[in-house]
Amino acid sequence: MMRTQVGIVGAGPAGLTLARLLQLQGIQSVIVEARTREYVENRIRAGVLEQGTVDLLNQIGAGDRMRQVGLVHHGIELRFDGSGHRIDMHALTGRTITVYSQHEVVRDLIALRLSTQGEIVFEAAHTRIAEIDTSSPRIIFRTQKTAQELVCDFIAGCDGFHGICRPAIPAGVLTQYERGYPFAWLGILAEVAPPSAELIYTHHERGFALVSMRSPEVSRLYLQCAPDEDIAEWPDARIWDELHRRLATRDGNFQLKEGPVVQKGITGMRSFVAEPMRYGNLFLAGDSAHIVPPTGAKGLNLAITDTIFLANAFTEYYKSSNRDCLDRYSHQCLRQIWKAQRFSWWMTSMLHRFPEASPFDHRRQIAELEYVTTSRAAATSLAENYVGLALN
């Protein structure tokens, strides 16, 4: 039998960041992860970090490689009716974003965890949690056919939307809010220089498109598609042809160069929130409690926000035995989460083509885009949400 103060299920960004924050406060933790280290470090996800996330990674000692290769962006472009309109986020808010892939963040956090003698149990099979409504909750798992039991003061469920922690909460406790979207993103990773120095969000009559990047040599590009799309029906030539159509500008000056496609896939779109984010001594964080559509670039950043609140709550408890911060945890997180849900829904609704949309709906979207790109107040609202709202 093993013993620790905080047992963490999941070695994603939330679990790893929480463990580091606790370690800096002298609080013991063990991370239990079902997958291999190789799998976790190569799981491709979003790559836009808010200013607050960047600042935190630097503060906890995980920012060295990010500072070297991360791409700092001062603005984004909204493109519609064949014209681009730049939102200067830095000028409007004094803050920036950094393009740095989630799997790179995970690699940095794992390396830091292991170099500081922090424990991660990879390949933990048949993991389950028990007695979460008692003072000694347990994480039970197997490693190399050996049964293991980790007894904790608290369990942090950082194991994602399909993890074991949220389903362990008894029926009737959670209220779950969900919205599906009638489209998905077809994304490719291509070995070609990005056509733009900043992200381009494009509204087009054929559907949304996004220009992003992973490095100065590698482009990340997305197309709106049907949620049940068969990726086999999208050969590289068809993808490039559609990207050229949707990203074209009236003046013809935009040049999209093609390159070898090294990865492609389809990502579904959903909004999801589970309330509350605590039951007994189990605390949910990250995707186990909420999912946002990727349009607003909030998923990873919301997970990091959860860990800040949760680490503060555990720190207060271990310093003073005061449980007030633990009791406030869910409420604090949900205030930020619903603001991010609103912004992600708004960006998604403004930029995508909905199957049932009428000509009126299309003209309304164009009017919204024109307003956002010509009103300083509207542009500031977009910018401050995109770079990250202050925690409160």
* 255-269 pLDDT tens trace: 999 999 999 999 999
Q: Are strands 6-9 and 29-32 parallel, antiparallel or unpaired?
A: parallel
Relative orientation angle of helices 324-351 and 359-374, to the nearest 10 degrees: 110
Radius of gyration for the alpha carbons in the chain, expressed in angstroms and rounded: 22
pLDDT at 296: 93
Domain 2-73+95-178+270-347 has CATH 3.40.50.150: no
Spatial separation of the C-alpha atoms in residues 327 and 217, rounded to whole Å: 47
Name the burial class of residue 32, with classes exposed (0-12), middle (13-18) and buried (19+) by CB atoms within 10 angstroms of its CB: buried
pLDDT at 43: 84
Spatial separation of the C-alpha atoms in residues 114 and 174, rounded to whole Å: 35
Q: Name the strands in the sheet holding 48-49, side by side, starting at the edge strand that comes first in the sequence.
A: 48-49, 97-99, 71-73
Residue ranges matching CATH 3.30.9.10 in the chain: 181-268+353-387
47 pLDDT band (50/70/90 cuts)? Answer: confident
pLDDT over 90, % of the chain? 97
pLDDT at 370: 98
pLDDT at 206: 96
Spatial separation of the C-alpha atoms in residues 317 and 314, rounded to whole Å: 5
Domain 181-268+353-387 has CATH 3.40.50.1100: no
Catalytically active residues, by annotation: 73, 201, 294, 298, 386
Residues 391, 336 contacting (CB under 8 angstroms): yes
Residue ranges matching CATH 3.50.50.60 in the chain: 2-73+95-178+270-347
pLDDT at 97: 97
pLDDT at 374 over 90: yes
